[in-house]
């Protein structure tokens, strides 16, 4: 969700105002995804690297997250949304981790959509942690080195509860993944837009989904391969 700072700067506002407006986009896009019956939405709300921002900005983001968790709670529950997280959430202050834990617990049985917040998240950190856990199991003798395949690695990731990543949207014109879901992005369709996150609205989401819909996903196969597979499944 990139571009909050630039959105604010263009208007002579503080970066906090940009994040605040970004939180409005979070609401708009989550509502739209629920309406569109999107199975899972993961929002990159705070990266592991974002801890290096000025203390005042980190504190204002934490305050915004707390407010979001308290204010959105009723709507999340009413809409049968399961809230989950990926990331080193033990680093979050208790002002955030407490309402977060409450909502994760209370929404655990909801089934219509997964809303996953990436908090203190990094894709390399996710893979590093998974590798360390697997290495420990191998060292303990509970896991054979040969058993460490792609499926086993995927099951060890923070995001193992999520369906495969289909579409990854990056706002604000940056053309990089910035450490987001590196493993999961292997076959995701990428959509880059110059729109700044606070301006990202339902029309922009629809444009991204339409672009996704028109793409041919081959997963390493040829066109003929896929045609034969589809016919065999008919
Ligand atoms: C990146 O934009 C954005 C962030 C580091 C924070 C994202 C947070 C929100 C959208 C609001 C809070 C989240 C929730 C779930 C309520 P930037 O600050 O790097 O923008 P810039 O590149 O234009 O400076």
Q: What are the tens digits of pLDDT across the range 127-150?
A: 999 999 999 999 999 999 999 999
Catalytic residue among 2, 4, 114, 204: 2
What was the pLDDT predicted at 126? 98
**Whose C-alpha lies nearest to ligand 1, atom 22?**
3
pLDDT of 10: 98
Task: Choose one of 4, 33, 180 to mutate for the ligand 1 pocket test, by most ligand atoms within 8 angstroms of C-beta.
Answer: 4
Strand partners, 169: 191
| pLDDT tens-digit readout, 115-129 | 999 999 999 999 999
Task: Examine the residue annotation and report whether 2 is marked as an active-site residue of this protein.
Answer: yes
Ranges of residues in the chain with a pLDDT under 70 are: 226, 229-230
Backbone dihedral angles phi then psi of residue 194, each to the nearest 5 degrees: -75, -15
For the question of residue 179 being annotated catalytic, the response is no
Is the shortest distance between the CB of 26 and ligand 1 below 6 Å?
yes
CA 52/CA 44 separation, integer angstroms: 16
Residue 116: C-alpha distances to residues 119, 140, 145, 146, 211 (Å): 9, 32, 31, 32, 23
* Catalytic residue from among 20, 50, 79, 179: 50
Domains of the chain with bracketed CATH: 4-127+163-233 (3.40.1180.10), 128-162 (no CATH)
Q: How far apart are CA 83 and CA 199, in angstroms?
A: 24
């Amino acid at each position: 969700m990139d571009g909050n700072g630039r959105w604010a700067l263009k208007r002579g506002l503080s970066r906090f105002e940009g994040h605040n407006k970004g939180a409005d986009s979070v609401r708009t896009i989550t509502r739209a995804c629920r309406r569109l019956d999107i199975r899972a939405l993961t929002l990159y709300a705070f990266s592991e690297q974002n801890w290096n921002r000025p203390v005042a900005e980190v504190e204002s983001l934490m305050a915004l997250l707390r407010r979001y968790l308290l204010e959105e709670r009723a709507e999340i529950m009413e809409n049968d949304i399961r809230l989950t997280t990926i990331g080193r959430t033990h680093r979050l202050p208790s002002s955030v981790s407490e309402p977060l834990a409450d909502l994760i617990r209370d929404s655990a049985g909801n089934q219509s959509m997964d809303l996953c917040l990436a908090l203190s998240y990094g894709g390399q950190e996710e893979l590093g942690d998974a590798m360390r856990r697997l290495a420990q199991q191998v060292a303990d003798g509970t896991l054979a080195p040969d058993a460490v395949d792609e499926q086993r690695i995927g099951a060890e990731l923070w995001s193992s509860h999520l369906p495969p990543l289909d579409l990854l949207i990056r706002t604000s014109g940056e053309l990089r993944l910035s450490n987001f879901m590196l493993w999961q992005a292997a076959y995701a369709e990428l959509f880059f837009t110059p729109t700044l996150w606070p301006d990202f609205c339902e029309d922009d989401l629809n444009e991204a989904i339409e672009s996704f819909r028109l793409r041919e996903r081959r997963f390493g196969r040829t066109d003929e391969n896929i045609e034969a597979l589809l016919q065999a499944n008919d």
